[in-house]
């Protein structure tokens, strides 16, 4: 390696990879001035070498063989932009075994095998950098890993999936159903043809697992994250929430409750006065609450080739700088072994809308069922009359298990015709 040129092997040259290649070329002088290193992409693995790509990389640098990239002695750093768990995992382990630091934007891989990769990197004192894996262009991982090292983080809560936020914004603006808003998101390119990972909350759960692992120094995997998507949200839910002064958002929440971690992804009503309520369209925002610093909010573009490339290039420059300067990298994930709280054992606040019989004594009968499970009611009111009568409840914070028990009891009552909606309420104190 010449003193200031660091050679990059890239796995993948799609939306993000191509944007990284262009940025490394077009901003080479800025990067060199600021980071003191020149980045040069020397090898690139793709599936189809014949494909036309608008990137400033010579054709002979391309290969379909990922191993050839990570084994190449002319590659100093490997950046993985393939997506999916395999072959990304094996290739990054091999790169680390070869003594090369790695950068990745792959949340799915980190949420599943982050500990294995962190161990492999840590054993050799190599960097494993992943700023782009959560909230794309928003610098969030480095603040959590570095800037807030002296802070006790209590909660990380945010909107980390642009597709679902776009859909919920459309539903709210136009009174549309979920299906109508999804079709519009697909037409405009905000949702994929198969939107399952986004709308069912799996993408947000992977990001939540990474944020929880970093914030609380304990290994949280995607499978540990309780997950509900937005497919069950109706136009009525959104209209009801708006009338009461709330916006409906898909939130990823990681918090410490009595030294155990609660990690969950679900739709929630957020007061319109809370900063997260005004995060519209495909934007992301993450709220970090620390014991000393108080509340911080990180806001911006959570996806897209260009914004995501800024995070990848930032990581590359930092990793390259360490290669030039020498020194061991910090361990990516630590594991204090904190317990993961089951969802039933998690505290939350709830909004319930019950379609009920309109006769004297119904409210008392229902309130008694709440009391029996230990769920206390903050507010209750009736809307409509006769066949249209509904009772609306907002509870105090209660255990999810107790709330679910109340729901089962309520469904068994003759006076309750239907539980029309149940939504969690978050951010009241924000
Ligand atoms: N797109 C975003 O806005 C965004 C934001 C944040 C994070 N990320 C993450 O960034 C990563 C890349 O996303 P992307 O949107 O750039 O994906 P993409 O456009 O689908 O690009 C994937 C690239 O990987 C190559 N590839 C896939 N499997 C391969 C294999 N087995 N061997 C060799 N090459 C292979 C593809 O080759 P071909 O070009 O020949 O098909 C393509 O160049 C993912 O982990 C994603 O979650 C993306």
Angstrom distance (rounded) from CA 176 to CA 71: 52
Q: What is the pLDDT of residues 40-61, one digit of tens each?
A: 999 999 999 999 999 999 999 9
> Tokens at residue 136, please?
């794309």
Angstrom distance (rounded) from CA 389 to CA 405: 23
Q: What is the pLDDT of residues 269-294, one digit of tens each?
A: 999 999 999 999 999 999 999 999 99
Q: Is the CB of 290 under 6 A from ligand 1?
A: no
Q: In a mutational test of the pocket of ligand 1, which residue from 62, 64, 83, 192 has the highest number of ligand atoms less than 8 Å from its CB?
A: 83
Name residues whose C-beta falls within 8 Å of residue 132's C-beta, 6 or more positions apart in sequence.
16, 104, 105, 308, 309, 311, 312, 315
Angstrom distance (rounded) from CA 104 to CA 70: 14
Q: Is the CB of 82 under 6 A from ligand 1?
A: yes
Q: Give the residues of the chain that fall short of pLDDT 50.
A: 1-2, 430
SS3 70: helix
For residue 48, give the ligand 1 atom closest to its CA: 40
Q: Whose CA is nearest to atom 25 of ligand 1?
A: 12
Residue 1 pLDDT: 46
Q: Ligand 1 center to residue 17 CA distance, Å?
A: 7
Q: Whose CA is nearest to atom 29 of ligand 1?
A: 47
* 8 A C-beta contact, residue 41 and residue 10: yes
For residue 82, give the ligand 1 atom closest to its CA: 24
Say what the pTM is. Answer: 0.96
Nearest to 419 by CA among 201, 143, 232: 232
DSSP labels, 41-84: EEEEE-S-TTS----SS-GGGEES-HHHHHH-TT-SEEEE---S
> Tokens at residue 285, please?
């925002």
Angstrom distance (rounded) from CA 270 to CA 57: 46
Q: In a mutational test of the pocket of ligand 1, which residue from 23, 50, 78, 82 has the highest number of ligand atoms less than 8 Å from its CB?
A: 82
Residue 2 pLDDT: 47
* 8 A C-beta contact, residue 270 and residue 228: no
Q: Is the CB of 81 under 6 A from ligand 1?
A: yes
Q: Ligand 1 center to residue 124 CA distance, Å?
A: 27
For residue 311, give the ligand 1 atom closest to its CA: 6
Residue 46 pLDDT: 98
Residues annotated as catalytic are 207
Residue 430 pLDDT: 38
């Amino acid at each position: 390696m010449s003193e200031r040129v660091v050679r990059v092997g890239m796995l993948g040259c799609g939306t993000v990879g191509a944007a990284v290649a262009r940025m490394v070329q077009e901003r080479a002088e800025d990067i060199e001035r600021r980071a003191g290193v020149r980045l040069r992409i020397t090898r690139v693995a793709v599936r189809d070498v014949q494909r036309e790509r608008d990137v400033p990389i010579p054709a002979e640098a391309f290969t379909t063989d990922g191993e050839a990239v990570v084994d190449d002695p002319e590659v100093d750093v490997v950046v993985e932009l393939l997506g999916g768990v395999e072959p990304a995992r094996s290739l990054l382990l091999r790169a680390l075994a070869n003594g090369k630091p790695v950068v990745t934007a792959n949340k799915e891989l980190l949420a599943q095998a982050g500990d294995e990769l962190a161990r492999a990197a840590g054993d050799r004192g190599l960097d494993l950098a992943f700023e782009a894996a959560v909230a794309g262009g928003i610098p969030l991982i480095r603040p959590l890993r570095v800037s807030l090292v002296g802070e006790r983080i209590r909660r990380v809560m945010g909107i980390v999936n642009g597709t679902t936020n776009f859909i919920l914004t459309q539903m709210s603006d136009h009174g549309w159903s979920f299906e109508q808003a999804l079709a519009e998101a697909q037409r405009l390119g905000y949702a994929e043809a198969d939107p399952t990972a986004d709308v069912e909350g799996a993408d947000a759960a992977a990001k939540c697992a990474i944020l929880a692992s970093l914030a609380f120094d304990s290994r949280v995997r995607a499978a540990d994250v309780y997950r509900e998507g937005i497919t069950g949200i109706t136009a009525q839910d959104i209209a009801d929430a708006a009338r009461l002064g709330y916006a409906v958002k898909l939130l990823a929440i990681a918090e410490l409750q009595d030294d155990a971690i609660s990690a969950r992804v679900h739709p929630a009503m957020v007061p319109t006065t809370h900063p997260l309520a005004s995060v519209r369209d495909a934007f992301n925002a993450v709220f970090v609450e620390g014991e000393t610093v108080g509340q911080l909010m990180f806001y911006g573009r959570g996806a897209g080739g260009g914004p995501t490339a800024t995070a990848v290039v930032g990581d590359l420059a930092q990793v390259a700088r360490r290669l030039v300067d020498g020194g061991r990298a910090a361990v990516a994930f630590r594991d204090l072994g904190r317990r993961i709280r089951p969802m039933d054992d998690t505290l939350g606040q709830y909004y319930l809308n019950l379609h009920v019989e309109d006769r004297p004594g119904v409210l008392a009968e229902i309130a008694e069922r709440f009391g029996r499970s230990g769920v206390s009611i903050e507010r209750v009111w009736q809307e409509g009359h006769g066949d249209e009568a509904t009772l609306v409840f907002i509870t105090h914070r209660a255990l999810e298990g107790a709330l679910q028990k109340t729901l089962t009891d309520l469904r068994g009552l003759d006076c309750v015709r239907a539980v029309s909606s149940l939504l969690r309420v978050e951010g009241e104190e924000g």
